[in-house]
Structure 1
Amino acid sequence: MHNEQMNPQQAQNQQPMMEQPPHVITTKDLAYINDMLAWNLLAMKKAHFFAQQCQDRDIKSELDQCGQMHQRHYELLMTHLQEKQQNNQFM
């Protein structure tokens, strides 16, 4: 593997990396967060449903773990949103 050098035009087009997230959530950001919440909630429900239908213990266990993972992701997103709202940074 070789290292590629950036030409000056490429270096100008690169945006600096943010040290912290912005204090404002845009409409587009909010729509994406809502989508992520919906995806995780749906995945959690589907995993739970299929785990209930499954008779193989190993597969049932994996589906339960998958559902729990999506539930944790959902709850983590909600926690971040609630913190933003409490800090009056949510717009």
Structure 2
Amino acid sequence: MKDRHGNEVAIGDMVRVLEIDQGLPDWLPADELPHTLAMLNNEYPIEDFPEKGKISVTSWWEEGPGKSACSGLYLLAHEFALVKTAGRTG
């Protein structure tokens, strides 16, 4: 899989979220929406290739003492850019 600039990416690589689907507010729970929208222009490691042509990234946050929550995005190539590889060579 390649990013917006044609760079090959792998699980563990750090990527910057460049775009978020404009339809997201139509189906995402209201309490999760601000956290997900805050992922724009931030960096996350690739966790998976959940579907052909998509990567998966996740953001975690605290919701109170001992409580955390997360939100994830599936991103198409034009929606992210490689920032740093996960230490592979070649």
* TM-score between both structures, scaled by the size of structure 1: 0.24
Task: State which structure, 1 or 2, has the greater radius of gyration over its C-alpha atoms.
Answer: 1
The structure richer in helix per residue is: 1
Larger relative CO (CA 8 A, sep 6+): 1 or 2?
2
Which structure shows the bigger proportion of residues in strand conformation? 2
